[in-house]
Every structure is written in C-alpha cells, then in structure tokens.
C-alpha cells in the first residue's frame, strides 16, 4: 500500500487549495514543501530598514533573497526576472493579493482572435470554483462591475481608497473610461478568524497579522485539521514512475540532506510555472526520456509572464504622501481584450495608483534616477508624496521559444540542477505596451499631472509564471487534459499556473486556485 493517496509537491496557492479540498473529502494527502512556515517575526516589516530588506534578503526575487530553501534561477536570457517565494503559502506570502478573474473571452482567444489556443473549459465551468476560492482566501470588493459577468457579493466590503486612488477615479471619469474598485484578498473587516487589515501598504513584504489572504493562513490550517500532512524542508528532485508509466511518488532531500521517498496513488504538481517544469524535466527515465509527461515536447515551453509597464504621474501638489498608497487601487478594463483599430490583438488592464516608499523613491522607483549632490533634495521633494504610477498589465501570448529549461551548470544547495528562463517580449506585447503607455499618460494628464515618466518594461515583475505545461484536449499540443491530468501519465496532475493555455491580462492566482479546486473535485469524483 502506498504512503498516501495523493502526494502534492509544493505548498503554495495551488498546493494548499488542492490539499484542503481533497482532505475535506477524506482523501489522504501528503504535501512536500521545500521551504518552511513563515512566522510573523520572520517578516521584516516592522524594522527601520524594511525597505532595504525588501530589495535584498527579503526580496521576492529568489536570486537576490538567496535563502537556503530558494533555488537559483538562471535569468540572464530574460528581461523579466522571476519572482516567487518558497515556503508554506508559496508566493502568496509576498503577493500583492490583487484578486481579479479571467473574463469569459479569455478562455477562447483562438476562436475570437485567431491566436494561441482556446482553453478546453469555459468561464462558466470555473465560476463556482472562483467563488469557493474567494471565500477561502477572503476577498474584499464589490460586485456589480458591468465589464465582467455578474458575481455574488464579495465576502467583505471593499477596502478603503486613498486620495491618490480618488484622483485616478476622477481622471477615468473625465475620460469616460471604465473603472471599478479591484477585488483584493485582504480583509476589510475581521474574517474567518483573521483580523482586519490596518492598511500598512506593504503587502509584498508578507503579512504578520494574517489580514492578507495567504495560503498558509487560509487553506493550510483547515487542511491540517482535516488530516492533510505537510512536510516542510522536503525538496523534491524526482517524480518516480513504474514500468507501466504511472507515477509512484517522489524522492526528496530532507532538511539534513538525506534522500527520502514517499509513495502515492497519484501525484499532483503544485510547484509553480517554473518549479513544475523543472521537476518534470528532471524526472527522466527510459519510458520518459525527455522528461515526465513530455511526449508533446511542450513541458517548459510557452512560458508566459504578464509584461508589466508603468507610467508615473508627477503632480505639483500632494498626491498620496501621507498614507503612501495604503488604500486599495482601482482597475480599468477600458482596453481589456481585443480593441477595434489597435495594431495588436488582445489587451491589457490598467491598475493604479501604485505609490513608492521613501527609499524606493530615492533609488529611482518612479523611473528617474535622482541626482546626488546639490540638486538631490529638491528633486526628492518634487517626487515623494507627489507621484503615482499607473500599472499596465499586458496579456502575453504563448510563444514556444519562451522557455523553462534545465541549466547545465547551476544547482541549488542540494545539488539539484536549477532552471533557466529564456524569454523575449514579442512584437504584439511591445505594441500593446506602447498603447498602454500612451493611454496611461492620458490618465495622468486628465488628472492634472505636470510630468509623466514612462517605464516601458518592469524587470522585477516576473511574479506571474504561466503556460509551461499547458492544458488541452489534444495530447500532441498540450501536456494535461481539461482536468489537469497529464495525457501521458494517468495518475499525474498539474494544478499550478503551468497549465494556463493563455494568460489573460489579469493577475493569475484566483484562476490558479479555482483550477486546483476543480481538479480536486475531479479526483474526488473519480474516486467514488
């Protein structure tokens, strides 16, 4: 008999959701996670040097953070650097918790735009799992946005907005453009035993109070109570298979560097859009010479990010200095999806304003290096508290040459080969970015900004890792089926962002979780 019914690799957003749902149905689950629990005191958000920590040893970029549980990523061939967190809760520990959903047309871009591929499922099929994910993570917001299908009221009312957000809303109104308060997985009121957010404005540091919906405080406590087992400090290096080509479990290094084995009836990959293809490509065998579940050759291909651009608007009056943008931002779907007359297909979401803190301002976060010497303070005063950034989140199209591969030399601290990212922004995205920059400038001009600064591509913005083991009905052109089950390995599932067929122009996590919950329900259903 196997050690467990389902072995989950990775305790982040998708692994947590899957483990909880399976445990709730009485299925035996073991989850292996290379990192550890993050304790409130580990989060350097109450230290005077919190901004330095955020840019160095507590950065979302694992290559800068370099904690023992992080694996290095060769990012020399990509202008967008990968961001993630390795620990219980995964990257949600550092996520900004913006919680939008895909729009229905995002699931069928081949049909509507003749590009990429359609998803093998629809928005309506996923909608119940989106709702469940919102309740589990705790979402603040308000239903009634006419640019998306009707929804149930959100579990909590919207978060407060600050003066900068109001300025942006007024500008959108002046232009006659769509806007709506964004859904955010941050408690506007006490919720599910967690306190209300105190609007500290630094979500990406991690949340010591638990007011931010992170998977370690939302799903995991419930999953553990239901009997799921979570092994931390467990770094998987191979998914094992038998002669019949079924997954049998995994081999991992424990905290002491000893090799351990877990056997399972089924294995679910939840290691994110970089970690999952890395492990599949490493799990080579005679039956799977190109890596596990890779007969299509698509494992590690079609890596998508959301190319993120920004425009800073500088004002000659205070913008949002007092609270440093701690209020929630708004989004605009005015240019979401394909737009008649545009020289690109698909579209982007505008979200803003983003506000930078004191040190980030000095270091050039608004897109302008500050001078040293005599002019420094005058320029600082012109920017700090007087600027906001409009964020342009572009839909990336899948391109086979954008990849996660195994680096021939780089290894993690256990000697496991590390991934390499190869990625270029394609022509369609470049045109989309140009359009977004111009429209964002219009917003700032309508708001009364005296200057705008373009940031055409943010490098430290590879936080959405998608597409590297995509879903589809055809085993020749996809890695998993509509339930996340590998075409080649009937008891292997993939539940993280790797399965995305296309990536829409919204943050991915609600969709990742909804898919993981849906796969869980499929596993539960197949067991009956």
Q: Which does 334 bind (CB under 5 to 8 A by kind): other proteins, ligand FAD, none?
A: none
What's the CA gap between 388 and 393, in Å, rounded?
A: 16
- Report the residue number, 175 or 360, with the smaller CB distance to ligand FAD: 360
Structure tokens at 47: 């230290």
Binding map of ligand FAD across residues 63-92, x = CB under 6 A, - = no contact: --------------------xxxxx--xxx
Query: Site for other proteins (CB under 8 A): which residue of 259, 378, 450, 459?
Result: 378
Question: Are the C-beta atoms of 43 and 53 separated by less than 8 Å?
Answer: no
What's the CA gap between 300 and 419, in Å, rounded?
A: 10
The answer for residues whose C-beta is within 8 angstroms of residue 166's C-beta and 6 or more apart is none
Backbone angles phi, psi at 328, to 5 degrees: -75, 155
Q: Measured between alpha carbons, how far is residue 217 from residues 73, 183, 222, 428 in Å?
A: 28, 19, 9, 39
Residue 431 buriedness (CB in 10 A; 0-12 / 13-18 / 19+): middle
Residues 465-504 touching ligand FAD, rule: CB under 6 A, are 496-497
DSSP 16-47: HHHHHHHHHTT--EEEE-SS-PPPGGGSTTSS
Binding window for ligand FAD (CB under 6 A); candidates: 257-265, 369-377, 379-387, 506-514: 506-514
Residues 191-230 touching other proteins, rule: CB under 8 A, are 197-202, 205, 208-209
Q: Which does 450 bind (CB under 5 to 8 A by kind): ligand FAD, other proteins, none?
A: none
């002669």: which residue's tokens? 243
Q: Which does 496 bind (CB under 5 to 8 A by kind): ligand FAD, other proteins, none?
A: ligand FAD
Structure tokens at 158: 């919207």
* 275 binds ligand FAD, rule: CB under 6 A: yes
Binding map of other proteins across residues 110-149, x = CB under 8 A, - = no contact: --------------------------------xxxxx---
What's the CA gap between 100 and 450, in Å, rounded?
A: 31
Q: Which does 227 bind (CB under 5 to 8 A by kind): other proteins, ligand FAD, none?
A: none
Q: Which residues are near other proteins by CB under 8 A?
A: 45-52, 142-146, 150-153, 157-162, 166, 169, 180-181, 188, 197-202, 205, 208-209, 318, 321-324, 326-327, 358-359, 362-363, 370, 372-374, 376-378, 381, 384-385
Q: Which residues are near ligand FAD by CB under 6 A?
A: 9-15, 32-35, 60, 83-87, 90-92, 94-98, 204, 234-236, 270-272, 275, 279, 463-464, 496-497, 507-509, 512
């Amino acid at each position: 008999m196997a050690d467990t019914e389902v072995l989950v690799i990775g305790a982040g957003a998708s692994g947590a959701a899957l483990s909880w749902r399976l445990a709730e149905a009485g299925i035996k689950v073991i989850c292996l996670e290379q990192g550890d629990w993050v304790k409130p005191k580990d989060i350097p958000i109450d230290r005077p040097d919190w901004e330095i920590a955020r840019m160095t040893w507590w950065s979302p970029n694992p290559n800068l953070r370099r904690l023992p549980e992080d694996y290095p990523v060769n990012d020399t061939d990509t202008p967008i650097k990968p961001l993630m967190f390795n620990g219980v809760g995964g990257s949600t520990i550092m996520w900004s918790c913006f919680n939008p959903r895909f729009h229905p047309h995002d699931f069928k871009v081949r049909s509507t735009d003749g590009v990429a591929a359609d998803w093998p499922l629809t928005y309506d099929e996923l909608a119940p799992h989106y709702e469940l994910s919102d309740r589990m993570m705790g979402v603040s917001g308000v239903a009634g946005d006419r640019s998306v299908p009707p929804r149930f009221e959100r579990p909590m009312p919207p978060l407060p907005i600050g003066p900068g957000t109001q300025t942006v809303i007024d500008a959108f109104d002046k232009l006659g453009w769509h806007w709506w308060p964004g859904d955010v997985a941050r408690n506007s009121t006490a919720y599910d035993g967690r306190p209300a957010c105190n609007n500290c404005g630094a979500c990406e540091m991690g949340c010591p109070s638990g007011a931010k919906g992170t998977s370690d405080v939302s799903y995991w406590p419930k999953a553990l109570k239901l009997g799921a087992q979570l092994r931390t400090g467990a770094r998987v290096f191979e998914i094992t298979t038998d002669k019949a080509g079924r997954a049998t479990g995994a081999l991992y290094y424990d905290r002491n560097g000893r090799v351990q084995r877990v056997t399972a009836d089924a294995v679910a990959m939840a290691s994110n859009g970089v970690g999952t293809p890395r492990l599949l490509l490493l799990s080579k065998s005679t039956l799977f010479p190109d890596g596990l579940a890779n007969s299509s050759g698509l494992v590690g291909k079609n890596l998508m990010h959301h190319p993120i651009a920004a425009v800073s608007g500088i004002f000659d009056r205070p913008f949002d200095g007092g609270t440093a943008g701690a209020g929630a931002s708004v989004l605009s779907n005015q240019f979401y999806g394909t737009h008649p007359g545009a020289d690109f297909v698909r579209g982007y979401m505008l979200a803003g304003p983003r506000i930078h803190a004191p040190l980030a301002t000095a270091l050039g976060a608004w897109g302008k290096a500050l001078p040293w010497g005599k002019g420094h303070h005058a320029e600082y005063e012109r920017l700090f508290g007087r600027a906001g950034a409009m964020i342009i989140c572009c839909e990336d199209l899948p391109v086979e040459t954008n990849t996660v591969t195994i680096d021939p030399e780089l290894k993690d601290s256990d000697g496991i080969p590390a991934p390499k990212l190869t990625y270029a922004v394609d022509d369609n995205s470049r045109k989309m970015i140009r359009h977004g920059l111009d429209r964002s400038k219009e917003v700032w001009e309508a708001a009364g900004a005296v200057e705008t600064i373009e940031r055409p591509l943010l490098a430290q913005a590879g936080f959405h890792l998608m597409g590297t083991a995509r879903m589809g009905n055809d085993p020749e052109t996809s890695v998993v089926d509509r339930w996340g089950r590998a075409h080649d390995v009937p008891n292997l599932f993939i539940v993280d962002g790797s399965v995305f067929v296309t990536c829409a122009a919204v943050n991915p996590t609600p969709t990742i979780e909804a898919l993981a919950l849906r796969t869980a329900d499929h596993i539960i259903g197949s067991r009956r």
